[in-house]
Amino acid sequence: MRERNAAWFVRRAVLLVLGLVWLIPVYLLLVNAARPSTSYDQSKIWTPDTHLGLFDNIRQGWDSAGLGSSLASTFLYSIASPGLAVVLGAMAGFAIAVLRVRAGFWWFMLLFGGTVVPTQMLLIPLFLGYSSTDLYDRRGGLVLIYLAVSIPLAAFVMRNFFTGVAYTIFEAARMDGASIWRVFWRVYLPLALSALWAVFILEFAFIWNDLLFGLTLSQTDTVRPVMTALSSLSSAYGGSTIPVVLASGLVMSLPTVLLFLGTQRLFARGLALGQF
């Protein structure tokens, strides 16, 4: 019994200590984002300022970067692209794992290989292609590229998810006369709902934070995603002070943080539901 107690204690102690270490950078972020814009001093980064400057900093960053005009389209990209990606990824995973397409491994590699190509090198050819197809500076164009970069992960997760689902389910449904599409849409997709959510959340976070595609493939303020505006705050030529940069970054991470925290339970539980 004593041994149990020792283990009980050690487990929590290790987690607590490591957790506190992990929170140090978060602490620095919060303390310095909350400092009034003009009272930042490198030698005092550990000490909170007595005056709360957080909201002024946010307002200042918001105004000078013009963050507001980008929000609507950023939400569109971060929701529409992963939403489509999980469906297309699930279809691909279903084809490989359940329908057992021939050369399934190579189909899988074809999709997953999308993560292997270096993103930076895609920008210019994509811009050229987008220009000649009138996708440049279109919200649809951005949804499309974000969809493409989201598919590999979605396909990977869904393939592995469906591999674990008993094949008898497929057979039973087919026996009842359901079409393959119906089996997928009505049986497999609902089964995978939580896994779909998990992929969606991770890809939401990625797209929300993307800068490169947004900068290269759009020009209008209302089409460009929010990170393109946010990044202008940290520049040698007229950039903002450190507290403003941090506070604006903080407020722009809120949607991701909220989505992430709000779904954390679902997340852990959801992925595990794939057992049959």
Partner 1 sequence: MSAPGAPAVAAAGARQAPGATAPGARPGRRRGRGNWTAIGFLSPAALVVALLLYLPFLYTVVLSFTKYDGLSSPQWVALDNFRKFFSDPALGSSVRNTLMWVVGTTVLPVGLGLLIALLSFGIRGGSGFRLPFMLPYALSGAGLGVIWGFILQDGGAANDVLGALHLPGAHTDFLQHWPYNTISMIVAWTWQQTGVNALLFMVGLQSIPKEPLEAARLDGAGGFRLFRSITWPLLAPLTTVVVGLALVASLKTFDIVWVTTQGGPGRSSETLAVTMYRDAFVSGDYGYGSAVALVLTLTTAAVTLAYLRRQVKTREGLG
Partner 2 sequence: MTLVATAALALTACGGNSGSANKSELKLYNDKGAWKPFFQQLGTMSKSQIGLSVNPVGYTDENTYQAFIKASLRTPNKPDLFTWATGGQLQDLISTKQVADTSSIWSDGIDKGYLPKNLEPYFTFDSKQYCVPLNVAYWVMFYNKKDFAAAGITTPPTDWNGLMADAAALKAKGFAPFYQTSILFSFVWFQQLLIGTDPDLYNRLATGKAKYTDPGVVAVMQRWKSMIDQGLFADPGSKEQPADQMKSGKTAMTLLGTWFNTSLVQAGMKSDSDYGMFVVPNVTTGASKTQVAFESGPLCSLAKAPDPAANTKFMKWWIQPDAQSTWANSRKDVSANPKVTIDDPALNTVAQAATGDQVTLDNRYFDATPAPILTAALDAFSGFLADPSSYQKQLQTIQQAADEYWKSN
Our finding on whether 86 is near partner 1 (CB under 8 A) is no
Tell whether the torsion through CA atoms of 197, 199, 202 and 204 is positive or negative: negative
Give the Cα separation of 162 and 154 in Å (integer).
12
Spatial contact of 66 and 229, defined as CB atoms under 8 Å apart: yes
Written as six digits, the tokens of 219 are: 């020009």
Centroid of chain to Cα 192: 19
C-beta of 165 vs 252, nearer to partner 2: 252
Give the Cα separation of 211 and 74 in Å (integer).
11
Residue type, 27: Y
Provide the mask over 224-253, with x wherever binding to partner 2 is found by CB under 8 A and - wherever it is not: ----xx-xxxxxxxxxxxx-----------
Least CB distance to partner 1 at residue 222 (A): 20
Provide the mask over 4-43, with x wherever binding to partner 1 is found by CB under 8 A and - wherever it is not: ---x---xx-xxx-xxx-xxxxx-xx--xx--------x-
Q: Which of residues 181-200 bind partner 1 (CB under 8 A)?
A: 184, 195, 198-199
Instruction: Provide the Cα torsion 115, 119, 125, 129; round to 10°.
Output: 60
Provide the mask over 50-79, with x wherever binding to partner 2 is found by CB under 8 A and - wherever it is not: -------------xxxx-------------
Written as six digits, the tokens of 203 are: 């890809």
With CB under 8 A as the contact rule, the residue among 79, 88, 178, 215 that binds partner 1 is 88
Region binding partner 1 by CB under 8 A among candidate stretches 47-55, 72-80, 202-210? 202-210
The size of the chain, in residues, is: 276
Interface residue list for partner 2 (CB under 8 A): 37-43, 63-66, 80, 84, 87-88, 123-124, 127-128, 131-132, 134-141, 143-144, 147, 212, 215-216, 218-223, 228-229, 231-242
